């Protein structure tokens, strides 16, 4: 139980960072950052073998944010792990900042590869997993993809080949929050049946509540034990999770909170923390 509370607290902290960063930046993507916060908290504070003091450690587990627009979340978790000073979060999207509007591997310590153009991150993650197999390394590769993102053809090219090459060291997490820029994904371009698609491409599939820390941790464990297949964790989430007026609101895909909205949001998040601490 200690671990669960610890990770819940971390996720809450990440959400607060996201709100603060975006409100200072005045632009960016809160919805899909908030929806994945529990997943990234679990990865970075429990699952990943990594060393913030040595981001290029050869045997590290890799994480690729294929849905690059959720980088406020990634920057927050990297800073909280010690990849760079927390202070720097305030520079998000500003001129000369190391924290670009979408992840830039040449600028930000801990970012494995530049992403932001949807569909590309999963291919790169597949390449990293393939390198691990060639070198008989034990590291694992995790990649977070968006539910709208899977409309990209490249995702399925990657799904096909990762399945074919039986990359069981590759684990994708689908942030299934149900909304994309133009509306509900089922109205824009229904990608369902999602689970069946991935399993027919040779992947082990796990469906979870993407806000349940215990379900997330169990899913990662199951993925690690899966033989001969890559795993996809289909994480059902709520876009804007944790901030009442952002939850399931399409507009908050790519709209930063105003100063007033940020204040309200931060109060809510701080209250939430108090609730489950009691």
Partner 1 sequence: MEKLIATRDAFGEALLELGEEYKNLVVLTADLAGSTRVKKFSQKFPQRFFNMGIAEQNMIGVAAGLAQCGKIVVVTSFAIFASGRAWEQIRYSISHSHSNVKIVATHGGISVGEDGASHQGTEDISLMRTIPGMKVIIPADGVETKKVIRAVLKIKDPVYIRLGRPKVPVIFNEDYPFQIGKGYKIKQGKDVSIFACGIMLYEALKSEEKLRKEEISAEVINISTIKPLDKRIIINSVRSTGAVVTAEEHQVIGGLGSAVAETLGENYPVPLERIGIKDKFGESGKVEELLKKYKLTSDDIYKAAKKAVWRKNEKK
Q: Interface with partner 1 by CB under 8 A: which residues?
A: 58, 104-106, 112-117, 119-132, 134-135, 153-154, 157-158, 160-161, 164-165
What's the closest the beta carbon of residue 143 comes to partner 1, in angstroms?
10
* Minimum CB distance to partner 1 smaller for 164 or for 276: 164
* Minimum CB distance to partner 1 smaller for 127 or for 254: 127
What's the closest the beta carbon of residue 135 comes to partner 1, in angstroms?
8
* Minimum CB distance to partner 1 smaller for 121 or for 202: 121
What's the closest the beta carbon of residue 78 comes to partner 1, in angstroms?
17
CA dist., res. 160 & res. 125, Å (int): 14
Q: Is the dihedral of CA 45, 15, 247, 71 positive or negative?
A: negative
Spatial contact of 210 and 175, defined as CB atoms under 8 Å apart: yes
What's the closest the beta carbon of residue 165 comes to partner 1, in angstroms?
7
What's the closest the beta carbon of residue 249 comes to partner 1, in angstroms?
30
> Strand 141-146's sheet: what is its strand order?
62-65, 141-146, 170-176, 231-236, 204-209
Spatial contact of 142 and 48, defined as CB atoms under 8 Å apart: yes
* Minimum CB distance to partner 1 smaller for 107 or for 186: 107
Say if residue 200 is preceded by a cis peptide, omega within 30 of 0: no
Inter-residue long-range contacts of 125-133, CB under 8 Å, 24+ positions, other chains counted: 125/62, 125/64, 125/66, 125/170, 125/172, 126/158, 126/161, 126/162, 126/167, 126/170, 128/62, 128/64, 129/162, 129/167, 129/169, 129/170, 129/230, 130/165, 130/167, 132/169, 133/165, 133/167, 133/169
CA dist., res. 149 & res. 129, Å (int): 20
* Minimum CB distance to partner 1 smaller for 21 or for 170: 170
* Minimum CB distance to partner 1 smaller for 12 or for 158: 158
* Minimum CB distance to partner 1 smaller for 52 or for 127: 127
What's the closest the beta carbon of residue 52 comes to partner 1, in angstroms?
18
Question: What would the DSSP string read from start to end of 244-262?
Answer: TTTTT-GGGGS-PPPHHHH
What's the closest the beta carbon of residue 158 comes to partner 1, in angstroms?
5
């Amino acid at each position: 139980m200690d671990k669960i509370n610890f990770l819940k607290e971390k996720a809450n902290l990440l959400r607060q960072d996201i709100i603060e960063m975006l409100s200072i930046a005045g632009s960016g993507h809160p919805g899909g950052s908030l929806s994945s916060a529990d997943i990234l908290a679990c990865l970075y504070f429990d699952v990943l073998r990594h060393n913030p003091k040595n981001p290029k450690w050869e045997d590290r587990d890799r994480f690729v944010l294929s849905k690059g627009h959720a980088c406020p979340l990634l920057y927050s978790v990297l800073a909280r792990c010690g990849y760079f000073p927390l202070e720097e979060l305030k520079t998000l999207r500003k001129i000369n900042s190391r924290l670009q509007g979408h992840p830039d591997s040449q600028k930000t310590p801990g970012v494995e590869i530049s992403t932001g153009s949807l569909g590309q991150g999963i291919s790169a993650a597949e390449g990293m997993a393939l390198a691990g197999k060639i070198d008989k390394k034990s590291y694992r590769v995790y990649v977070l993809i968006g539910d709208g993102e899977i409309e990209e053809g490249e995702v399925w090219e990657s799904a096909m080949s990762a399945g074919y090459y039986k990359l069981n060291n590759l684990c994708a997490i689908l942030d299934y929050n149900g909304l994309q820029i133009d509306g509900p994904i089922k109205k824009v371009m229904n990608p369902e049946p999602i689970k069946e698609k991935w399993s027919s491409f040779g992947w082990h599939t796990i469906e979870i509540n993407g806000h349940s820390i215990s379900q997330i941790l169990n899913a990662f464990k199951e993925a690690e034990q899966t033989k001969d297949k890559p795993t996809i964790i289909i994480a059902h989430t709520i876009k804007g999770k944790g901030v009442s007026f952002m939850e399931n609101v399409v507009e908050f895909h790519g709209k930063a909170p105003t100063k007033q909205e940020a204040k309200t949001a931060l109060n809510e998040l701080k209250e939430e923390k108090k609730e489950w601490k009691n």
